[in-house]
Amino acid sequence: MSQWSAGRRACAALAVACLLASCDAANTEQSTDLVRQPRGSSSTNSNSPPQEIPELISPTYKVFAANRRGMSFPDRDFSVFAIFPPANFFRAQVVQLGEFPGELPRLIDNSQIELRYSAVADATGSINRTSVTKTNFWTHAKDLYQFLLPASGRINPDEGVHGMVARSQSMPGSSNAPQAFTLFDETKTFTAPWVPITPVDDAGKTNHFPRMKVDAVDKVTGTIVASTTIVVPIAEPMNCASCHATGLVGASRSGVIWSATADRANQGKENVMRLHDALHGVYKGFEAPLMCVECHYSPVADPDGRGPYGFYQERRQRFSISIHAAHGLGRDGATPSTTVPPNIPENGNSTCTVCHGGNLPYFRDSMASAGLLCQDCHGGMIAVAKSPMVGSTTTRTPFIDEPRCESCHTGDEVSHLGSTLVLRKAFEEIDVFATPRTATNRRFAEEPTRIYRTSVGHGGVGCISCHGSPHAIWPVQTGMPDDTIPSQLQGHGGAIIECVACHSGGIAPNLDGPHGLHNIADAGWITDHARFYLANTTSACQTCHGLNLTGGYLSRAASVRTFSLPNGRTVTYAKGAKVGCADCHGMPR
């Protein structure tokens, strides 16, 4: 029992070292991110105490940061037309840790702290500071984004897309100057929008997962009070040429003069424009380079959030609806049937990855490990295109009507929808338009009016802060880099479950943690859990520990855990082992 006897305060301050002594992953990264900065004091650490006094190595702030999207796929060449500008969104929250036993952590706002990002090398030494020489975006940006910019507007090299009102973010540039996050919102989230990063590092090598360091800087003293490193995922551009290169299925109609441009990607793009012109004849006056979204509204080119605007956008359906409908339907908009094939036939993930991410692991988390496909969450092309064009009476709103975690994680062992605890389709099988299911037991649900990436849960902490980017929900598949973020924050991968990651001063035993979790790996909980069991109905524990309390899917140990029991016995759980009530003593009555 000795590791507990140091007392709650000491134990908590030593956080990882003490409580997670036996955890499985790289604790080593942890210490580099802990910066001491006692509340209300900007003093430097001049009379540094010896290591064994734990209070004084206690960190005061922690940054929870991740890329807001699972992956972006900017065009690399903008000379013909553009679908996506280079634009990654970083989001972060800053938690000020409690300093005294029982003191709660709090999310802090931008009056105290500024967040900044700068490039940092990954383990192989690859670093990505600037995009200037890696894309011709800035050569064409003024033409492409003319319709967004103020009359005198321009986009400077290394600067991201911006609107009339919205501020832009830049790459740090060759001097690696830290850039301040420009947005802060009511969910206490800092966002760096439209950062124009490319998948090419400064040595010219392809790197789809470059790193950025995020620093929290005290606005008064200018000192860095906490840091973390995020993974910034960037895929290859959408490759229209794989079907629209001359002679292929998307450039085969007679009567059209197909492109002979040597660059295959641009040949495909030119053919898309020629096909579009042949079918709709609308490009008169619109010269390359152009943006498809000039006429087909998309929020990905609307930094000011003003919505559909201008003659074409107001009359056309949204870009996502058009592009998925045109490819989910047959030639000339024919309804697919046994004799009419869709322009892109349904064929698992590759239906989508031909455009989204190519061969890269766009979708790379535990749901991918569990064998789910894009269609299990999003439905197929027709579902993504849900609109009158594909026979629906209603239209889905792209980027808003998305699948939800609660659609499959519909509750707990005691109360959930369907026949299994976790479902494998986010909608009812018979619904061809794949409307996301909503759960009645909201234990694992998003906020009703927000989707995953903007929702907050426990204590106002964002879902992303504890779970990571969409499609890269921690734990990610073996070999994927994203789990380095939770490893920095709590010493092991997976969802942020260690209460001490935020409640550094410890907390009294409770059942009010994220999703109704109790204290984890906490001596106080071992001593006190009986009281909670006895004070509540048995179902309070059955919800996660299983109906017969022998351990369930929701009571798996997140890390290797070792408990020394008062009777001298030691109980060890492997990571992922189901914790049951009879593991340490007889089955409670």
Per-residue x/- track, 28-67, ligand HEC (CB under 6 A): ------------------------------------x---
What tokens appear for 122 in the block? 């990954």
394, 443 contact by CB (below 8 A): no
232, 212 contact by CB (below 8 A): yes
Q: Does 23 bind ligand HEC (CB under 6 A)?
A: no
**Cα 587 to Cα 581: distance, rounded to the nearest angstrom:** 6
Nearest to 188 by CA among 450, 494, 465: 465
Q: Does 140 bind ligand HEC (CB under 6 A)?
A: no
Q: Which residue lies nearer to ligand HEC by CB, 70 or 210?
A: 70
**Cα 401 to Cα 406: distance, rounded to the nearest angstrom:** 14
Candidates 52-60, 123-131, 133-141, 525-533: pick the segment binding ligand HEC (CB under 6 A).
525-533
Nearest to 521 by CA among 13, 16, 160, 149: 16
33, 488 contact by CB (below 8 A): yes
Taking the alpha carbons of 6, 10, 11, 17 in that order, is the dihedral positive or negative?
negative
**Cα 438 to Cα 424: distance, rounded to the nearest angstrom:** 14
Q: Does 367 bind ligand HEC (CB under 6 A)?
A: yes
74, 84 contact by CB (below 8 A): yes
The distance of closest approach from Cβ of residue 333 to ligand HEC in the complex, given in angstroms and rounded to an integer, is 6
The distance of closest approach from Cβ of residue 562 to ligand HEC in the complex, given in angstroms and rounded to an integer, is 9
The distance of closest approach from Cβ of residue 186 to ligand HEC in the complex, given in angstroms and rounded to an integer, is 15
385, 324 contact by CB (below 8 A): yes
Per-residue x/- track, 400-439, ligand HEC (CB under 6 A): --xx-x-xxx------------xxxxx-------------
Binding-site member from 1, 165, 249, 340 for ligand HEC (CB under 6 A): 249
Q: Does 242 bind ligand HEC (CB under 6 A)?
A: yes
Q: What is the dihedral of CA 314, 315, 318, 319, to 10 degrees?
A: -110
Q: Which residue lies nearer to ligand HEC by CB, 126 or 474?
A: 474
Determine the distance from the C-alpha atom of residue 222 to the mean position of all C-alpha atoms in its chain, rounded to a whole number.
29
Binding-site member from 202, 270, 376, 483 for ligand HEC (CB under 6 A): 376
The distance of closest approach from Cβ of residue 396 to ligand HEC in the complex, given in angstroms and rounded to an integer, is 7
Q: Does 243 bind ligand HEC (CB under 6 A)?
A: yes
Q: Does 112 bind ligand HEC (CB under 6 A)?
A: no
Cis peptide before 289, with omega less than 30 degrees from 0? yes
Candidates 42-50, 220-228, 464-472, 478-486: pick the segment binding ligand HEC (CB under 6 A).
464-472
Q: Does 480 bind ligand HEC (CB under 6 A)?
A: no
The distance of closest approach from Cβ of residue 176 to ligand HEC in the complex, given in angstroms and rounded to an integer, is 27
Q: Which residue lies nearer to ligand HEC by CB, 204 or 371?
A: 371
377, 426 contact by CB (below 8 A): yes
Q: Which residue lies nearer to ligand HEC by CB, 210 or 268?
A: 268
The distance of closest approach from Cβ of residue 180 to ligand HEC in the complex, given in angstroms and rounded to an integer, is 23
Footprint on residues 63-102 left by ligand HEC (CB under 6 A): 64, 69, 81, 83, 95
CB-based burial of residue 203 (10 Å sphere; 0-12 exposed, 13-18 middle, 19+ buried)?
Answer: exposed
Q: How many CA within 13 A on the CB side of residue 577? A: 13
The distance of closest approach from Cβ of residue 184 to ligand HEC in the complex, given in angstroms and rounded to an integer, is 16
The distance of closest approach from Cβ of residue 259 to ligand HEC in the complex, given in angstroms and rounded to an integer, is 13
Candidates 31-39, 49-57, 224-232, 497-505: pick the segment binding ligand HEC (CB under 6 A).
497-505
Nearest to 89 by CA among 195, 167, 168: 195
Q: How many CA within 13 A on the CB side of residue 518? A: 24
The amino acid that residue 578 corresponds to is K
**How many CB atoms are located within 10 Å of the residue 378 CB?**
18
The distance of closest approach from Cβ of residue 307 to ligand HEC in the complex, given in angstroms and rounded to an integer, is 13
Q: Does 106 bind ligand HEC (CB under 6 A)?
A: yes
Binding-site member from 53, 104, 164, 547 for ligand HEC (CB under 6 A): 104
362, 353 contact by CB (below 8 A): yes
Binding-site member from 163, 233, 250, 491 for ligand HEC (CB under 6 A): 250
Residue number of the CB atom closest to ligand HEC: 459
Q: Does 148 bind ligand HEC (CB under 6 A)?
A: no
Footprint on residues 534-573 left by ligand HEC (CB under 6 A): 536, 540-541, 543-545, 549, 554-559, 561, 563, 565-566, 571
The distance of closest approach from Cβ of residue 44 to ligand HEC in the complex, given in angstroms and rounded to an integer, is 27
What tokens appear for 443 in the block? 């234990």
Binding-site member from 161, 192, 245, 374 for ligand HEC (CB under 6 A): 374
Per-residue x/- track, 434-463, ligand HEC (CB under 6 A): ----------x-x----xxx-x-xxxxx-x
Q: Which residue lies nearer to ligand HEC by CB, 133 or 536?
A: 536
Footprint on residues 179-238 left by ligand HEC (CB under 6 A): 238
What tokens appear for 301 in the block? 């080119």
Q: Does 577 bind ligand HEC (CB under 6 A)?
A: no
List CB contacts of 515: < 8 A, sequence separation 6 or more: 443, 444, 457, 458
112, 258 contact by CB (below 8 A): no
Q: Does 309 bind ligand HEC (CB under 6 A)?
A: no
117, 178 contact by CB (below 8 A): yes
Between the CA of residue 553 and those of 181, 448, 470, 540, 581, what are the distances in Å?
39, 25, 22, 15, 14
Q: Does 295 bind ligand HEC (CB under 6 A)?
A: yes
Q: Does 466 bind ligand HEC (CB under 6 A)?
A: yes
Footprint on residues 500-519 left by ligand HEC (CB under 6 A): 501-503, 507, 510-519
